A and B are shown apart, each in its own frame.
Chain A
Amino acid sequence: MTKQVQQLDRVIIRFAGDSGDGMQLTGDRFTQETAAFGNDLSTLPNFPAEIRAPAGTLPGVSSFQLHFADHDILTPGDAPNVLVAMNPAALKANIGDLPRGADLIVNTDEFTKRALAKVGYAGNPVEDGSLSEYHVHALPLTSMTVTALADFDLSKKDAERAKNMFALGLLSWLYHRPTEGTIAFLEKKFGKKPEIMKANIAAFQAGWSFGETTEAFSVSYEIKPAEQKPGLYRNITGNVALSYGLVAAGVQSGLPIYLGSYPITPASDILHELSKHKRFGVRTFQAEDEIAAVGAALGASFGGSLGVTTTSGPGLALKSETIGLAVATELPLLVIDVQRAGPSTGLPTKTEQADLLQAMHGRNGEAPVPVIAPQSPSDCFDAALEAARIAVEYRTPVILLSDGYLANGSEPWQLPDVNALPKIEPGFAQADQEDFQPFKRDPETLARPWAIPGTPGLEHRIGGLEKADGSGNISYDPSNHDRMVRLRQAKVDGIANNIAPLAVDDPSGEAKVLVLGWGGTYGAISAAVRRIRKAGNNVAQAHLRHLNPFPANIAEVLRSYDKVILPEINLGQLALLLRGRYLVDVISYNQVRGLPFKAEELAGVIQDVIDSE
């Protein structure tokens, strides 16, 4: 049977199932195949905080969305074109996001009376016509998998567990994905369990063959590779990119990296990743709590390592006092906050940008800390290097604000030329100086000397008590305190002279409206801006990487436009800072749903502002 092949320019697929169904793995494999094929892509994993919520329930649903295209794309997509629902709970939890006419693949084996009742379906939606506005492919995926594996020496349960690979095989056929990578992956993953390995490969291939032979699918789809700049690529998540950025910071500075960390979602993967890279001189220390984690990092920085701590919002709260000590002692320290929805425990696996004000102000006293935010998963690499550069060269703690969306999302990354990466100069204090003054500042950067234990002749004491300007001796003198507070502020403010100005993308030069963003909203804002321009309207876009200090030209940029729209996944935290500092009445657009913005919604918001001009 020769089947029709249809060309598409982009597709959004969402795999959804029970937490135990292996949806994250399935999505990840499809992503790797897609990356290897050469499409541009962006992913959005979405999973519950519970490791195994009760099977078949709504809280237990885990999903993975993948957007891939034959052109450059920026977001994991607003709404899926294809939903794979492995059980009734997955259908119920996700059907609301599915636009009319979309493809829906359901695993009918799981649509039993009991499973349907568990999530409140009175009847079977696959049979009662309630899904009539979708292209429904009702397939017994579980039993087809079991049948395909009949010859294997496996329990029924083990055979059923391979159903995600059957689904992956089917989808791989449907979208012409290469299969070698997944087969190699399964061979490696189950190398020690050959029967399970063979069964998973067989299920994967059975899914593929089913697609080819069944009449349920008359069309398959081709999405041509995207045009990409020449070079070597890999797919990368934000947390891995950030980890690599830290390893690179160690290499580029010649400093050993010391990570003190306490496990917390969604930051733990950075600890896991860095613990594998000891041969780069990276030490990882899993501390007894968040406070000890940052304390050990600061102690290591005192000793001449680059101290790093990784956490999420609640952990950042616990680290505040030590960050204040790092401000007072003026030692390098990298604090990485992978933001999640708060307050308190909040939604541990969902994204948010609501720690900005905590990062800016969450300490006692006047305690300025540089704040940097990456804008995409792969950008976490560059942002980590930039944060390390500032921490080391200015002897200051730096807070890097990633978020759950960047951390777990992925995109293709063109590998940088390691020889072209920026060098970081630790510039340790030289031994045996006459009249060494531990708080005598560099006239240009206002950074103090970094004189580490083991350096003869520079023995000195530091601490959280106020220090006399220059000597660093304890000082209770009022005018000295006033001077030191201002000096510490001036040092951080002065970083603005040493960072890139805020770049504005305004191709027509005639835009009256500027859309400003920061951090992980870059993709959604950029996609929205493209839509506006495609529709023939002018709009300018700028995205902040440096939140403290702001780039030197920010006031000028803000005042160059009639209106400034600022979408944030919080209730207007950056807007508060900009209004307070620059008296610019930015228009805040806010959502706090634990999810990234949708490009279409943002485009609507921008269009409304343009129309109101």
Chain B
Amino acid sequence: MNGVNGHGGGTANGADTANGTGAANGTGRTALSLVPKTDQKQTLKDFKTDQEVRWCPGCGDYAILAAVQSFLPELGLRRENITFVSGIGCSSRFPYYMNTYGFHSIHGRAPAIATGLATSRPDLSVWVVTGDGDALSIGGNHLIHALRRNVNLKILLFNNRIYGLTKGQYSPTSEIGKITKSTPMGSLDAPFNPISLAIGAEGTFVARTIDSDRKHLQSVLREAAQHEGTALVEIYQNCNIFNDNAFEPLKDAEVRDDITIRLEHGKPITFGADQQKALRRTPGGSFEVVNVADVDPAEIAVHDAHNPDPSQAFALSRLDSPAFEHTPIGVFRNVDRPSYDQEMRAQMNEAVEQQGKGDLAALLGSGDTWRID
């Protein structure tokens, strides 16, 4: 029973002995502390499967898949200790194309299934791949509860603002008034802002990136992978069949630099082709755009993703309303809170420390007993 035996004993005892190193923000622990490392050099190829990729030609999912496959080797984890769990939808086919363990599950339920896996197997790096319909509509409940618990999951939310696999109905991130097959006169629903939602749901790591910007996408994945707890990464993803160019302003070389705000922890928030614009806190707690030339540098807001108070991260998340006037990308929030898995293991260890290991005969004979001779 190979490594499996070790797992059975190790997880049952909840042994948690590894010391974390290289934590993102000074906790002395990262999500990967207990995941076995490989001494083999890995490449993108190691993470490809022999399965034919069945997304539409031109789909943004291809770029994300390639970015993930080329990023994972740098983590240096044993491939068998990485698992991708997905729900249902175009994005949820992702695990079939990753040469790791994978579970393509039920519409909306991936965070729940992954919670069972992650909380019972601290030696795994567990990734959830989901979409805007999967995560925010049918699976909204599981998403918010995973976030508040801070389960050790890295959730990649591919947001294309449309239902693709069912051929083009509006989604919970579609804009009001969207004309689709199910809304010929325009949709009536106000959309979710996934970043605001995740921050409101007590998320400890909340970030946004774009399918077409591999460098940025991988920098966010790098930080997410190490985060102890739930990391939610919203990835703007183009559906070229049913919602083409949904994120065009962020990709168009003419305008993208004027509207994209690249968040970096500890740095003043400036943007624009020549970094000529900046954000300043208003007395009401939101942000306003100012010209760098017009203000005292001390008034320019400095991004603090590690601030336990979520109000600044929340205020940043509101900047893209109206759509694409200004869109922050990067890590909005990255704070320390013990993960649910870690706390669960601690309780199990404590139970063994206080009462000793379980003895079945003693358990069955607990309480009032009597003997017949």
Contact = CB atoms under 8 A, between A and B. Distances in A.
Given A279-B352, A418-B361, A456 B78 contact: yes
Contacts of B120: 256, 258, 283, 299-300, 303-305
A455 B103 CA distance: 15
B124 A415 contact: no
Contacts of A254: 8
Contacts of B373: 230
B370 A431 contact: no
A289 interface: yes
Interface in A231-289: 231-235, 244, 247-248, 250-251, 254-256, 258, 260, 277-281, 283, 285, 287-289
Given A258-B120, A287-B112, A295-B116, A462 B102 contact: yes
Given A292-B112, A460-B102, A464-B105, A453 B83 contact: yes
A459 B88 CA distance: 21
B2 interface: yes
B106 A454 contact: no
Contacts of A231: 371-372
Given A281-B13, A292-B142, A35 B368 contact: yes
Give the interface centre of A234, A254, A302, A329 by most chain B CB atoms within 10 Å: A302
A474 interface: yes
A426 B8 CA distance: 11
Give the interface centre of B80, B99, B373 by most chain A CB atoms within 10 Å: B80
A463 interface: yes
A181 B368 CA distance: 8
A299 B372 contact: no
A393 to B, nearest CB: 15
A229 B372 contact: yes
Contacts of B102: 460-463
Give the interface centre of B51, B356, B370 by most chain A CB atoms within 10 Å: B370
Contact of A292 (B98, B109, B121, B348): B109
B121 A304 contact: yes
Contacts of B85: 299
Interface residues on A, range: 35 or more
Contact of A459 (B14, B100, B141): B100
B95 A463 contact: yes
Interface string B100-121: 1111111001001111111111
A32 interface: yes
Contact of B115 (A32, A277, A292): A292
B116 A303 contact: yes
B96 A288 contact: no
Question: Interface residues of A: mostly helix, strand, loop or mixed?
Answer: mixed
Given A229-B372, A232-B369, A295 B8 contact: no
B101 A459 contact: yes
B3 interface: yes
Contacts of B368: 32, 35-36, 181, 234-235
B315 interface: no
A327 interface: no
Interface string B349-373: 0011001111011011101111111
A57 interface: no
A296 B145 CA distance: 12
B11 interface: yes
Contact of B4 (A277, A452, A463): A452
Contact of A325 (B80, B106, B361): B106
12 contacts: A251-B360, A256-B11, A279-B351, A287-B112, A292-B115, A292-B142, A305-B11, A415-B369, A431-B3, A457-B80, A464-B106, A474-B51
Interface of A: 32, 35-36, 38, 181, 228-235, 244, 247-248, 250-251, 254-256, 258, 260, 277-281, 283, 285, 287-289, 291-293, 295-305, 307, 321-322, 325, 329, 415-416, 418, 426, 428, 430-431, 452-465, 473-474
Given A247-B360, A288-B142, 7 more contacts: A36-B370, A228-B372, A288-B112, A428-B1, A453-B124, A455-B2, A465-B104
